[in-house]
Structure 1
Amino acid sequence: MARRALILVEGDPTGNGLLYIQAAQGLGLHPITLSADPARYEYLAAAKYEAIRVDTNNLDALIRECSCLGDIYDIAGITSPLEAFYATIGKLCRHFDLPGPNPTSIKRCCDKFTQRQLLAEADVPIPAYRSAVNAADVKSAAAEIGLPVVLKPAVGAGSCGVRLCRDADELAEHTAYLFGGQYIWRSSPRILVEEFAEGPLYYANTMENEVLGIGAADFGPPPYFVYHEFTYPAVLTDYERTGIANVSLSCLRALGLGWGPTSIELRWTKRGPVVIEVNPRLGGTPGPQLVQLAFGVDLITEHIKLATGDKCNLRKRHSQTAAARILRPDRDGILDWIGGDNRAAAVAGVAEVKFYVQPKTPIVRKGDYRDHLGYVIAASPSRARTEAILQRAVDLIDWSITPFPTLGE
């Protein structure tokens, strides 16, 4: 009998890529990663996981490779840890008659302007928004909506290119950055100009048509949206929890989602929950780890079960409070050293400490997920205790960055 395999299209160097491989092995599957550049995923070579070089932006090439693999293995499922490939995953799954997401729904959801249109048509509460293809459009849209506004590429992830513009100067500066050739576009240049919704930030984890839980998150200082801390589950009143859950389910219906995982970002504003973004995928690291620590539910394993035709099990096995702190640099320069991870990991209640960087790495802050140096995760039966554990561990971690020389030095 042929060995059952799970095909992963691309990986994730700092996120869920390795977790998908480990979860697949835990289910008795043989994980195979298809990538345009397997070498960019260090974990593949480190543990000698099977990887095949293929143009992952070419659907026909992927179909050919999967067909060849089907002569050797029993292809149980196909998925990806990256949103950028989810529409392709949907097409592959349909071609090979495997369970998977609706590619049309995924494509529409990944276009932030189209997503806003569909949510608005379904009366889902969202910020005021406009689409812009040039600087004049941006200026006009900001005048209609009123400053401050958020500028973000219509297609993208990880807060890349996203900035809060509080006045005309910041608006002009970021518009010039996005349209002036510095920003690398994944699609034709198009900006979403959006009202800045103020209020606490929450995210809902859904699987299929069920809201599993709601977490709280916090960004670092403006004007960028770089995550600072996550807490799971969020402390909410019954009214708030019900409101967020109902709006989240409305998003799934409006966008034609409901297969597999979804992560929905919202803010609780003066008018209640307002949807900031619907991501038709699992939240990135450390989101899945927090859910597993808090509830005992491994979302990655449950996603793979769906992708291979099995039923998922979202039954909560326990209840704890889990939290994560993102480690971020306060300056640009050369990372001289970073340490304390072993001491932090030894603190009772700490679940994981991870560094993304090595000494002598150039640090250039981008104002997005690439600014993360690493993270610390902790969990305990109470929120106060978890916060104390997390702070104690973070206090044991330190690093040194030597600023880049200035002109004339």
Structure 2
Amino acid sequence: MSADEDRVLLVIGSGLRYYREYLIESAARRAVELGLKPVLVNNLHPTWQTPYFDEITVVNVFDHEQLKAAAREIAARRTVAGIVCYDEPLVMPTAELAAEFGLPGLGLAGVVGCRDKHTTRRLLTAAGLPQPGFELVDTPEAARAAARAIGYPVVVKPRALGASMGVVLAEDEGQLDAAYLVASNAGLVGDEPYRGGAMVEGFAGGPEISVDGVVQRGEYRAVHVARKQTGMHPYFEETGHVVDADDPLLHDQVLLDVLAKTHQVLGVEDGMTHAELKLTPYGPVVIEVNGRLGGDLIPYLGRLATGIDPGEVLVETALGLRSELTPRHRGVAGIRFGYPAEDCTVGEVRLPAGLPGLVAAEPMVSPGTELRLPPGGYLARHSFVVCTGDSREQCAERLDAALAAVELTGEPLARKEIDAVLEMPAGLLDTDVAEART
């Protein structure tokens, strides 16, 4: 077989099945249509991933040197035509590999601009984009001084984590020390260069949205907007999202200009991103930009609502192809996550069926799983429901009804102390089948 016949799409990390299989299915299909063989480098022995890939290499992807060595070994014997990643901890080594192989990617400056929240704030502020006051601190004393200078309320967060883990609102100095402790301890599970300390930022008021978009040769285009629902004050746990193909924000030139300039300032070259913003009284404010597609099945909602397949766009962008982003149909789709009322060990999750607009209802944990609410844990989700509707309001009503029909049994757990070091939540972990057999 000639090198031209053995062209591959290299995928770094598969993610969890219920969050990412829909992406792998469409990305693998599109890769094959374009004459490529999908190849995966992953940390787990394959189970559900097997049908989608021509080859799977198992290595500790969280050791970035091992990951890069595995990718180089593949590149030495096969022609890597494109490389993709949608897993937050792996976007940095993926960008480094793209640069090394001469392939389209976020770019080294772009991935740092997205991954490091301090760099994001610093660059956007210097460029004149609206930003809250901010300071990177490494002690409670420094956090108190920063909060006084910025003005309460403030948000305290880890420097480089996703999914709102360790993000806390402090409304006054009496809440600041605990908020710093939670954020700094959560940050200890992140990438090595960004561990310890925390960011202190001014609180930006207003509705929160996310925008999944694509950047090709520096040009930014929005794909879809998700209206976010959060809860568990003073934390910012993401409890649901709604995507409307006809959301007027997709035509809001002020928002689109902010997004385009943000990606230009951060140095993003080629790839898909997930930007989170607040719609404040003084305009849209970027909270963070992630160098990957959105989580929480948001891209799946986008596909339901618009017909635009994010897995296909991901592959096309990795190959330097310009994707068609005109909606194939126009609808509304949303997701809501089920949380326990208190920390618990899961007994049984019973799900609804046959409700109006209900597209999917799935358990996210097995019996015996420990679920811990903030600050002892995050993403303590036992299930999700997905609904469609004719409007955002109808979709939200259907989501409320579907979630109310979910039943959870379990045994209460004692709450963790606030100063406990964060363990990665069950909702972000998968079990290697080889380890499970031992």
TM-score by length of 2: 0.83
Query: Partner of 2:214 in structure 1?
Result: 207
Inter-partner Cα distance in structure 2 for 1:99 and 1:114? 22
Q: Any idea what SS the aligned residue of 1:276 has?
A: strand
1:178-203, CA deviations, whole angstroms, 9 ceiling, x for partnerless residues? Answer: 45699534334131101111111112
- Rate the CA distance shift 1:370–1:50 in 2: closer, same or farther, 3 A: farther
Q: Any idea what SS the aligned residue of 2:368 has?
A: coil
CA contact (8 A) 2:301 2:334 kept: yes
- Rate the CA distance shift 1:179–1:248 in 2: closer, same or farther, 3 A: closer
1:243-290, CA deviations, whole angstroms, 9 ceiling, x for partnerless residues? Answer: 222211121111112522122111112212111111122111311011
Inter-partner Cα distance in structure 2 for 1:329 and 1:181? 21
Match of 2:387 among 362, 378, 384: 378
Inter-partner Cα distance in structure 1 for 2:374 and 2:28? 35
1:142-200, CA deviations, whole angstroms, 9 ceiling, x for partnerless residues? Answer: 11112221111111112121111123232111323445699534334131101111111
Give the CA deviation at 1:134.
Answer: 1.2
Amino acid paired to 1:195: G
Inter-partner Cα distance in structure 2 for 1:314 and 1:4? 26
Amino acid paired to 1:190: G
CA contact (8 A) 1:24 1:30 kept: no
> Do residues 219 (structure 1) and 230 (structure 2) align?
yes
Inter-partner Cα distance in structure 1 for 2:60 and 2:262? 33
Query: Partner of 1:38 in structure 2?
Result: 44
1:335-361, CA deviations, whole angstroms, 9 ceiling, x for partnerless residues? Answer: 111012xx33x3353222222101221
CA contact (8 A) 1:109 1:279 kept: yes
> Do residues 96 (structure 1) and 96 (structure 2) align?
no
Inter-partner Cα distance in structure 2 for 1:172 and 1:234? 42
Give the CA deviation at 1:71.
Answer: 5.6
Q: Any idea what SS the aligned residue of 1:288 has?
A: helix
Q: How does 1:123-134 map to 2 (within 5 A)?
A: 123-134=128-139
Give the CA deviation at 1:101.
Answer: 1.8
Inter-partner Cα distance in structure 2 for 1:405 and 1:121? 46
Inter-partner Cα distance in structure 2 for 1:349 and 1:49? 37
CA contact (8 A) 1:356 1:372 kept: yes
Amino acid paired to 1:114: T
Match of 1:365 among 373, 391, 414: 373
- Rate the CA distance shift 1:239–1:292 in 2: closer, same or farther, 3 A: closer
Match of 1:312 among 323, 339, 342: 323
Inter-partner Cα distance in structure 2 for 1:373 and 1:131? 34
Query: Partner of 2:288 in structure 1?
Result: 277
Amino acid paired to 1:104: A
Query: Partner of 1:141 in structure 2?
Result: 146
Range 47-56 or range 390-399, more displaced: 47-56
Give the CA deviation at 1:3.
Answer: 4.4
Give the CA deviation at 1:108.
Answer: 2.7
- Rate the CA distance shift 1:175–1:63 in 2: closer, same or farther, 3 A: closer
1:18-52, CA deviations, whole angstroms, 9 ceiling, x for partnerless residues? Answer: 233212331225433223x314x764379898532
**Following superposition, which runs of at least 4 residues in structure 1 exceed 6 angstroms of deviation?**
45-49
Amino acid paired to 1:227: E
Give the CA deviation at 1:75.
Answer: 2.6
Query: Partner of 2:200 in structure 1?
Result: 193
- Rate the CA distance shift 1:229–1:59 in 2: closer, same or farther, 3 A: closer
Query: Partner of 2:242 in structure 1?
Result: 231
Range 89-98 or range 331-340, more displaced: 89-98
Amino acid paired to 2:401: R
CA contact (8 A) 1:161 1:183 kept: no
CA contact (8 A) 1:204 1:244 kept: no
Inter-partner Cα distance in structure 2 for 1:296 and 1:363? 34
Range 383-392 or range 300-309, more displaced: 383-392
CA contact (8 A) 1:177 1:183 kept: no
Counting matched residue pairs gives 402
CA contact (8 A) 1:203 1:215 kept: yes
CA contact (8 A) 1:134 1:179 kept: no
Q: How does 1:221-370 map to 2 (within 5 A)?
A: 221-233=232-244, 241-340=252-351, 343-344=352-353, 346-367=354-375, 369-370=378-379
Inter-partner Cα distance in structure 2 for 1:162 and 1:322? 27
CA contact (8 A) 1:321 1:381 kept: yes
Query: Partner of 1:25 in structure 2?
Result: 28
CA contact (8 A) 2:244 2:391 kept: no
> Do residues 150 (structure 1) and 151 (structure 2) align?
no
CA contact (8 A) 1:6 1:76 kept: yes
CA contact (8 A) 2:109 2:268 kept: no
- Rate the CA distance shift 1:76–1:347 in 2: closer, same or farther, 3 A: farther
Q: Any idea what SS the aligned residue of 1:370 has?
A: coil
Inter-partner Cα distance in structure 2 for 1:164 and 1:181? 15
Give the CA deviation at 1:103.
Answer: 1.6
1:61-111, CA deviations, whole angstroms, 9 ceiling, x for partnerless residues? Answer: 444433432465443321212122222112212222222220222113211
- Rate the CA distance shift 1:128–1:240 in 2: closer, same or farther, 3 A: farther
Identical pairs, percent = 25
Give the CA deviation at 1:140.
Answer: 0.2
Give the CA deviation at 1:239.
Answer: 11
CA contact (8 A) 1:203 1:263 kept: yes
- Rate the CA distance shift 1:264–1:313 in 2: closer, same or farther, 3 A: same
Inter-partner Cα distance in structure 1 for 2:143 and 2:281? 26
- Rate the CA distance shift 1:20–1:55 in 2: closer, same or farther, 3 A: same
- Rate the CA distance shift 1:59–1:221 in 2: closer, same or farther, 3 A: closer
Amino acid paired to 2:304: L
Structure 1 gaps of 5+ residues are none
Query: Partner of 1:113 in structure 2?
Result: 118
TM-score by length of 1: 0.88
